[in-house]
Amino acid sequence: MVDQSAVGHRFTPVTAHVEPGRLRYFLDTLGDGNPVYRDAAAAKADGYAGVPVPPTYLFCLEMLDNQKPFEFLTALDIDLGRVLHGEQSFVYHAPVVVGDTLTFSPRVVSVVDKKGGAMTLIVVETAVTNQDGVHVADTARTIVVRNGSPS
């Protein structure tokens, strides 16, 4: 069981590069044909400094360049098969474009037991800054840990 001592725990910051090829693979996977994400000229014509990223892509960047993508599970001693994604949020403060290098700094902000301890909700907030030190976004994920015994 994850307890309150996890609150405040900071994970290793992740440095991620916004690469056009990986972005294109993400877009192809979702069947997203929006030219603003694929064509630098189209993006510039629309007033962007570069090719922007889709609304959920920050989550992928944090995983893709993470040396230990499941660090939050091993650090908190949680079995991978017992977790579900409960909630996810993004607040966007400044543009993120292809070519940027982002730093993700995640930390545990709350641990709450639900249903008499049958599940635990863990909230991890991540501040995202770019190569110029600009605070570009904040993300938050709620991880649901199923504490029941395996059948």
| Interface residue list for another protein (CB under 8 A) | 22, 25-26, 28-32, 34, 36-37, 46-48, 52-56, 59-60, 62-66, 69-70, 80-92, 95, 146, 150-151
Q: Choose between 85 and 135: whose C-beta lies nearer to another protein.
A: 85
CB of 47 to another protein, least distance (A): 8
CB of 59 to another protein, least distance (A): 6
Q: Say what the alpha-carbon torsion angle 123, 151, 75, 87 is, to the nearest 10 degrees.
A: -20
CB of 90 to another protein, least distance (A): 5
Q: Choose between 5 and 87: whose C-beta lies nearer to another protein.
A: 87
Q: Choose between 5 and 46: whose C-beta lies nearer to another protein.
A: 46
Q: Choose between 5 and 123: whose C-beta lies nearer to another protein.
A: 123
CB of 99 to another protein, least distance (A): 16
In this structure, the chain runs to a length of 151
